[in-house]
Structure 1
Amino acid sequence: MSLAEKLARVVRTADPEETYECKDCGATFSLDRQTCPDCGGCVIDRIDWDGVVSD
């Protein structure tokens, strides 16, 4: 992943309501999706698991 892609990911994930991310293009969403509407990618994962998994 290039520096520009990493910076774009940081900017896109600034919204705390967006908790899911397309691993192909870095687009973020507030809801879990089957496919990315931006690139059509199928790998969408939760950005951060903090607060979801308890010790």
Structure 2
Amino acid sequence: MSLAQKIARVVRKADSDETYECKDCGATFSLDRQTCPDCDSCVIDRIDWDGVVAD
């Protein structure tokens, strides 16, 4: 992945309401997925747990 693609992903994450992220390629999704459609990885997790987990 080029530097420009990585920067574009960061900008899209800031502007979107996507909650899940592929930890291998950085793709983001609004729904929880079993596999990433971009790289077929199974390592997908929530981007931010604030408001989900109580202290």
- Residue 54 of structure 1 is matched in structure 2 by 54
For structure 1, the 5+ residue unaligned runs are: none
For structure 2, the 5+ residue unaligned runs are: none
Task: Give the CA deviation at 1:13.
Answer: 1.2
- Residue 22 of structure 1 is matched in structure 2 by 22
Percent identity over the alignment?
Answer: 82
Paired residue total: 50
Structure 1 runs (4+) deviating above 6 angstroms are: none
Higher helix share: 2
Task: Give the CA deviation at 1:12.
Answer: 3.0
RMSD of equivalent CA atoms:
1.3
Normalised by the size of structure 1, how large is the TM-score?
A: 0.77
